[in-house]
Structure 1
Amino acid sequence: MLQRSIVFFIVIAWIQTGGLCLPIREEEEPVVIELQNEEMQPTVLDCDYTLNDTDSFLTVKWFRDDKTIYQWIRGSPPAPIPDYKNDIDSSYESSTDPNKRYSSLALINPTIDTTGDYKCVVQTGTETITIHQRVQVIDVRNYTLNLYHNKIHNETQLECKVSNVFPKPTLTITSNDEDVVKVVTNDPQENEDGYFNATTVVAVYDNDDDADSYQCVVSFKGYSKNLTTTETSSSDGSLIDFKLYRLGWFLCYLLAIQIAIF
């Protein structure tokens, strides 16, 4: 019985250390690309590996969402897949080491479609190394963000709307005195271009006459920057809204015209 247990643990240890030639899986930190209007520098994904077998053939392949996008065979020029030739700088040299010269992936001309799960697979005659990396694109270059409100007795209804952002956003409305008590959030909707529009509504019950500040925060998973907009109420509880202010002036203008006519 003791001998069987020893054999069992030896087999388990052998498997865990790659005794069955299983692929080695390594994880890298996610890469965030924020799209800009000006020309952007390439985003380089490194395929960091150490080879035990340097004598046989060496092939490095990159995949995005399990689709091959780039391949390099040691001794040959690197070759992006034709459908991705405008997305990858195949001339980028990541190292002077002949075993790693074109192993990295240099992403150029990024769009929201650049987002995905990337995988670098290194193969020799005796080993396979797999490295996974997540790339997340953020595009807030042409977004709109508005916070609307309507005062009804002691309840204020706040509606925050954001449009034309990527990826899927999370909206949060807060107040300086924690009066937000009820939240209705709709799932973000994806438009035909792949961007998202989202809305969230809250009810605020304010029983004092102090001025209050309300803020809508738009955040994205894995991204440290937020989009924000703020509205402030006056001391008598009425909310300051430039659009309503402008509407009031327009109504006064119409009234003045009517008086002049009659």
Structure 2
Amino acid sequence: MDHRTGTFGYVGMLLFSLFAVLPVARSLEIIDIKGPSVVVNGSTSQIVLDCDYDITDYDKSGLVVKWHFNRQTFPIYQWIPTKEPQDLGILKGRLNLKYEVSEDQFSKHRALAIVNPTTDLTGEYTCSISSFESEAFKRKSLIVYAPAEDLSMTYSKPSEDSVVVTCRAGGIFPAPNIAIFRSSSSSKEFIESAKVESQLHPEYGYYNISIEIEVSDYDLDSETMFECVLTIPGTEYRVQEKILYFPGHLTTPATEEVEDVDEEDIDELLEEIEKSENAQNSDEEGDDGKRSPHTAESVSSGERVLSSLSFLSILAGLHLLFLH
């Protein structure tokens, strides 16, 4: 055996034995950020984002826990185990600083306890921990969304052979998605050519959004269902509205002209109605003052028409009287 080979082999075994008996120092590790990813605005009084980490005795010296919002350099929360936790930036005055996630003195204040979360706290949260030995970080997204306050769908006729369908929603956050579908007995189609307008109102913290399409009646079936679907990305929120459209002319009820009626004529008509009702009540009551069983009477179509016209004339006359 070569002398040099034997020497190197001996040294290698010695080094291996040395590292085998020395403890291996682990670095800081964030296991997970626990807590909700989606919250409805105004639905809860407090949410907790817990930065669950694993540390060694080496890391306890100089341990600092920080939280950042949307990757900004300035922290929104800081805790050093030997000091009280601090709320900063957008979370100033909005944290429960007394909240303790555990009894361990090196982890009890690691979590964010956000009081009454609102839509402006939607964003990305970063937990970072550091010590004299190492550092680590982990991120989590949170969406605090506001459902639409209203959702409406209407249509109008700009011409005899076309229709404009409009869907509007307001008071929603964050920026939603909106789409229109049309369906008939045979198919359902997503309309890509629809015009979408979205507007943020910073002073109120919500969006208004609308979608509009114009379609020719010739491209539609005799009966078409339009459907508006509103969603918020990153959430399960989904609402919809439907409207049924029949291609053709947009008609309005016809109005009939009514001749002027004098006040004396109105009084006479009212007296006749009152006498007629009294006579009918007398006929329906027996000798003992009890009502007799009601007997159905056949009325010809001509009599029905005359009765209806008389009643309409009375109503029209009363309406004109009150206008004067």
Would you say same fold, with TM above 0.5? Answer: yes
- Give the alignment of 1:69-80 within 5 angstroms: 69-80=76-87
Gaps spanning 5+ residues in structure 1: where?
A: 1-20
Q: Could you say which residue in structure 2 is the equivalent of 1:130?
A: 137
Q: Alpha carbon RMSD of aligned pairs, Å? A: 3.5
- Code of the residue aligned with 2:91 in structure 1: it is Y
Q: Normalising by structure 2, report the TM-score.
A: 0.60
- Code of the residue aligned with 2:79 in structure 1: it is W
- Code of the residue aligned with 1:184 in structure 2: it is A
Distance 1:188 1:97 in 2: 49
Q: Could you say which residue in structure 2 is the equivalent of 1:6?
A: none
Q: Could you say which residue in structure 2 is the equivalent of 1:41?
A: 45
In structure 2, do the counterparts of structure 1 residues 257 and 54 end up closer, same or farther at CA, with 3 Å as the change threshold?
farther
1:147-183 CA distance string (max 9 Å, x none): 1112455543211111121111111111223356552
Larger of the two Rg values belongs to structure: 2
Distance 1:181 1:172 in 2: 8
In structure 2, do the counterparts of structure 1 residues 78 and 216 end up closer, same or farther at CA, with 3 Å as the change threshold?
same
1:186 is the counterpart of 2:196:
yes
In structure 2, do the counterparts of structure 1 residues 28 and 216 end up closer, same or farther at CA, with 3 Å as the change threshold?
farther
Report sequence identity in percent.
24
Q: How many residues align?
A: 227
The runs of at least 4 aligned residues of structure 1 exceeding 4 Å deviation read 21-30, 151-154, 179-182, 255-261
Distance 2:54 2:165 in 1: 56
8 Å CA contact retained: 2:33, 2:52: no
* More RCO (CA 8 Å, sep 6+): 1
Gaps spanning 5+ residues in structure 2: where?
A: 1-25, 261-315
Q: Normalising by structure 1, report the TM-score.
A: 0.73
- Give the alignment of 1:152-167 within 5 angstroms: 152-153=159-160, 155-167=162-174
Shift of 1:238: 6.1
Higher helix share: 2
1:230 is the counterpart of 2:242:
yes
8 Å CA contact retained: 1:25, 1:132: no
- Code of the residue aligned with 1:80 in structure 2: it is D
8 Å CA contact retained: 2:29, 2:55: no
In structure 2, do the counterparts of structure 1 residues 202 and 77 end up closer, same or farther at CA, with 3 Å as the change threshold?
same
Moved more, 22-31 or 107-116: 22-31
Among 195, 213, 217, which residue is 2:206 paired with? Answer: 195
